[in-house]
Each structure stands twice: as C-alpha cells, then as structure tokens.
Amino acid sequence: MDPESLTRIDDNCWKIEPRGRMRVPAMVFADRALLAAMDEKVREQLCNVACLPGIVEAAYAMPDAHWGYGFPIGGVAAFDPEEGGVVSAGGVGFDISCGVRTMLTGLRREDIEPVKDRLADALFATVPAGLGRHGEIRLSDRELEAMLAGGAVWAVARGWGRPEDLERIEEGGRAAGADPEAVSFRARERQRAEMGTLGSGNHYLEVQEVAEIADEETARGYGLLRGEVVVTIHCGSRGLGHQIGTEFLREMVVAASAAGIALPDRELACAPVRSAVGQRYLGAMRAAINCALANRQIIGHLARQVFERFFPGRPLRLLYDVSHNTCKEERHPVGDRRLDLFVHRKGATRALPPGDPALPEALRPFGQPVLIGGSMGTGSWILAGTRPDGPRAFASAIHGAGRALSRHQARKRWRGEEIVARLAREGVLVRSVSMRGVAEEAPDAYKDIDAVVNAAHRAGLARKVARLRPLIVIKG
C-alpha cells in the first residue's frame, strides 16, 4: 500500500478519506514500512467495510493486517443498531473466538532443559493436534448443548480446571446470550469429538521462556519474571465455528438483499443487528465463543496434568485467556455520546485499559493482558491495555504477527523437515503431525513480530510488557 496515497495522521496512523459509498473514513495503524508492505487488497477491503450501514467513527486496520475474507484480518469496525447497524459473519471470521491463553508455571528454563525432549513428547501425546483430529472426549447431545451454553464454566464444572481460572478468562469464561438452538446439526456433529484438540494451521501449544521485560511494574503484576517459563495455547472453536460462519454467510447474502443493503463485496454479507437472521447469528456466534473458551480450558487442563507429572506440586496458574474473531456488544464513547455498539474484531484482540471494571481486581491496575502469538519459532509478546482516557479503535489491539506470504507460497519455498531441523539447532523443539503444515507456518512466512508490536505500542493500541521465546512447539 502506497503511504503517499493516504493522509498521514502521525508516524503510526494513516487515514483514507471517505469517497464513493464510504460512510466513514478508513484508518490504518502501522509505521511506514509496515504500511508499504501491506497488500493493496487491505485498502480495498477496509474501504468496503466503511460502506456498511450503521458503521461509526471509522473502519480500522491493525499493524498486522492482511487480506482476509470480506474484512481484512486485523480489521475492527463497530456498528450502531439504532442506525441500521449490521452484523457480518465475514467481520468475525470462520474460526470464531480463536484466541490465546497463557499459563504461568513458576519454573525456570533450567528446570525445563533436562526433561525438554520428554516433556515435548508428553504434551504432543496428550493434546491432539491436526486437521480433523479427535480427542478422547465425545459429547452426548445433552453435553453438547450444555457446553455451547456454558463455555469454560461448563468445562470447570466437569472437572477440567479450577474455579479460580474463570476470573482470568474474558466474560468470566462464558459468553452471555448464546443460543445453542441456532447452531445447526452439522456444526454440532463437527465438534462432538473435537473438544480438547488444537486443530491445524497457525494453532499451537508452546512452552516459552520470558526472554525480555519491557514494563517491570506490569510484568510483576502479571506474575512474569525474566527466565521463567510459561505455557501458551492458541486455538479456537474448531469445526463448529467454521460451519457456523459458512452457513450464515449464505443466509446473510439473502438477508442483506431483503434489507435493501447493496453490498460492496459479496464476502461482506451481513444482516441488520435487529433482524431475525442477525439475532440468530449472534446467538450461534456466542455459542461458538463458548465452544472455544471450553476448548482452551480443556487443553489448559491437559497441559497442567502433563506438567504435574514432571513437576509435582508446581501447578500452572492462568494469567489470562483472550479471544479474537468476535463481535461483542459494548458501550463506547463516540463524539460526545456513549453508544451501545456491536464491535467486530477479526484478527484483533480486545485491550481493556487500566481501571476497567470488566477486569479481575488483581489485573485492574495494569490493564488487560493482550496475548500476541508470534510465528512458529520466532517469539511472542504479552502487551497490556492502555489509554484509559479513551482507547483507540474501540479498545482493540493486534492479535499476532500477520502473514507475509500465503500458505501456498510458503509450501513452495520451504520444506517442513528443514524448518524442524533448523529450529532444533536454535533450541526449539517442534512436534507436529504434518510437515506440510510446518512449512505453511514457517517463521519467515509471517511479518516481523517485533516490528508489528512496536507499531502497536507507539500507536497507543497497547503497551509492551514482555517478550516470550519458544522452547517447545506443538502444532497440527
């Protein structure tokens, strides 16, 4: 994307003025280098989002933005239902509530190194990973219904985890307003045997070392110490979320036409929030959020069991669990008013500021942990919500590095076996069922995570707290 074709607001914020059918501007948070490297398709998709009914303030792109389905990945937009605002399945994404959970071990790297190989094998054997992989959990119809309504609260009640985990999960571990009846038979069947599984693509379980501290006070508040080890899980709602997205996108094409909405792109199929289709989608999407929260809770429990075998009496403690790929009803200031809006975050993470009452008391002074997954083998970050005077982009931040090459391009350039061997030489053990999948997720197929994080930090989207370096990577 040519920086000269945008209006520069500051070194990390750029504006696309409204034109044609755009109802609001489009805004891109990025430094000049990241902006120049963005696909021109990001601009096109962002401008299309700005054409949708009821959008307020602007259509936003995060520093990790890249081309997606309908919305760019790394896209944020909020809609006012009182002004005909819409909900879009493409604005949420197919992997609904894909998110990240980080757990504190209290162990140091030197504790891990003597058992590193065996620990990697045990985690790989315990947490199923890969496309279509099933675990040992198979839910009855009644349990499926309870899981879709209860999320991580349901999982803890069934023995997967501890009650204190729930206060460290967005929404207390359960999205209110879920409607299991809006979830199709096909979507349920795809999920019946996939609870407690990682899936494929960029999903992973990593054992990581806290390699750098950028904010000592916040790191202490989060329980992060340099040289200590954490466990991070990145996954979502698996086949259920994908099926919900696929089905409702088809419905929303019809619903948009019936509502007189002229779509700038068929992939932006949407329905008015107040319509029957819009309400059913929100109910199904919230059920998928609960599915993802339950899934990460179960995987976290499985990881705890593995660590307990190697390090008895050293239980893993949850730092936080945060979702991206959601649409949430939230109250935000817009101009001189506070409005109830439906905020779409596709490949973006909520980043609540210090003092926000939605945060658990222990985290409230520091702001919400914003967990940023890096590319395999390079590193990840923990950021914190910021700007209590008025967060930017509806209190949203980046979610990862963002792809620089497509999966097809990555497969043509690298072999999985070569990536595994290279990372082993660097002290990173990879366990995966698919060398093709490893090639697709090669570290160099993604943007520089440090550059993306620095841009988000300078833009005031979130502030840097700690950098994590991988030691063990479990992938599908």
- Among candidate residues 203, 324, 399, 457, the one labeled active-site is 399
Where are the alpha helices (H) located in 39-160, listed in sequence order?
A: 40-49, 109-112, 116-126, 141-157
Q: List beta partners, residue 127.
A: none
- The angle, 0 to 180 degrees and rounded to 10, between the axes of the packed helices 276-310 and 238-258 is 170
Q: Which of 54, 77, 29, 93 is nearest to 387 (CA)?
A: 29
Residues 6+ apart with CB under 8 A from 334: 56, 57, 80, 341
Distance CA 328, CA 286 (A): 9
CB 474 within 8 A of CB 205: yes
User: What b/e sequence results for 69-83 when a residue is b if at least 16 CB atoms lie within 10 Å of its CB, and e otherwise?
Assistant: bbbbbbbbbbbbbee
Reading the block at residue 325, the tokens are 């790929």
* Dihedral angle computed from the Cα positions of residues 182, 48, 461 and 402, in that order, rounded to the nearest 10 degrees: 80
Separation of CA 316 from chain center: 22
Q: How far apart are CA 199 and CA 279, in angstroms?
A: 28
- Decide if 324 is catalytic: no
* Cα–Cα distances in angstroms (integers) from residue 133 to residues 128, 183, 190, 239, in the given order: 6, 21, 11, 10
Tokens 């994080």 map to which residue? 453
Query: Which residues share a beta bridge with 34?
Result: none
Confirm if 337 and 213 have CB atoms less than 8 A apart. Answer: no
Give 415-454 as a DSSP string: -HHHHHHHHHHTT-EEEES-HHHHHHT-GGGB--HHHHHH
| Amino acid making up residue 208 | Q
Classify the C-alpha dihedral 437-443-445-446 as positive or negative: positive
| Helix/strand/coil for 256 | helix
- The CA distance from 275 to 298, in Å, is 35
- Phi and psi torsions of 13, nearest 5°: -145, 130
- Residues taking part in catalysis: 399
